[in-house]
Amino acid sequence: MGRTEIVVVLRVDKEKGYIDLSKRRVSPEDILKAEEKFNKSKAVHSIMRHVSETCHVRLEDIYNQFGWDLYKRFGHAYDAFKLMVTQSDKVLEPYHLADNITEALLKNIKRRLTPQAIKMRADVEVTCFSYDGIDAIKDALLAAEALSTPEIPIKIKLVAPPLYVIMTSALQKEEGLALLQKACDTIQSMVKAKGGEVNIKTPPRAVSERDDRLLGLLMETLERQNQQVDGDEPDEE
């Protein structure tokens, strides 16, 4: 009671009003598909309900005017809504909606469905005690940053020698992680060629806002520790 379960319908008895359900006959793949469809439909209904309340139009009327047809045209209204972020005219053209409904609909869709960039990071330790030393590390880090694209910029920051963080953000997680890995490989190959060592302390992964805050606090702490305090300077005598 009170739980959401994924089940398969075995039999419908219309006369008695019974529906036989089974949890055991649902495959893991079916569960994932059903949960995805449910979450999409919940998001669509939330947007439609908000439009209904904002424009003072019956929710059922909005669904009848264009909601159900979006499911037929695009397979799911959620997919139609995602397309409307960039191509609203193409999607809504057949429906001739009132201006206030169109405005409320697009405002909600763009607020809720506009893709958000995913932050990603890798932590590497880089050392090089050969003749080229600092220059070898510098060249390798600059080469890694040069892999940046307009969509996936790469930034490298020094935490504390020899630890560096390689950071990026991208709409597509797989593409961002792949470019971060390429940056790590570039640093590794260039530094090793000069006799240095690279330790991938933490491989490329997606990070949360909490991870960002912790990194910022760590860097602030180290910066304070590196600042000179009274007594650091040698006596003038």
| pLDDT at res. 234 | 56
pLDDT at 236: 52
Express each pLDDT in 121-131 by its tens digit. Answer: 999 999 999 88
* CATH classification (class only), 118-226: alpha beta
Q: How confident is the model at residue 1 (pLDDT cuts 50, 70, 90)?
A: confident
State the distance between the two ends of the chain, measured CA to CA, in whole angstroms: 82
175 has a pLDDT exceeding 70: yes
- At 231 the pLDDT is 54
What is the structure's pLDDT at 86? 86
Instruction: Domain 8-113: give its CATH superfamily.
Output: Translation initiation factor 2; subunit 1; domain 2 (1.10.150.190)
130-149 confidence digits (pLDDT tens): 888 899 999 999 999 999 99
pLDDT in tens, 63-96: 999 999 999 999 999 999 999 988 899 999 999 9
Considering all CA atoms of the chain, what is the largest pairwise distance in Å, rounded to the nearest integer?
A: 105
Residue 2 has a pLDDT of 87
Where in the chain are the domains? 8-113, 118-226
Q: What is the 3-state secondary structure (H, E, C) of the chain?
A: CCCCCCCEEEEEECCCCEEEEECCCCCHHHHHHHHHHHHHHHHHHHHHHHHHHHHCCCHHHHHHHHHHHHHHHHCCHHHHHHHHHHHHHHHHHHHCCCHHHHHHHHHHHHHHHCCCCEEEEEEEEEECCCCCHHHHHHHHHHHHHCCCCCCCCCEEEEEECCEEEEEEEECCHHHHHHHHHHHHHHHHHHHHHCCCEEEEEEEEEECCHHHHHHHHHHHHHHHHHHCCCCCCCCCCC
Q: What is the pLDDT of residues 193-229, one digit of tens each?
A: 999 999 999 999 988 877 778 877 877 777 777 665 5
> pLDDT at position 216, please?
78
pTM for the predicted model, two decimal places: 0.55
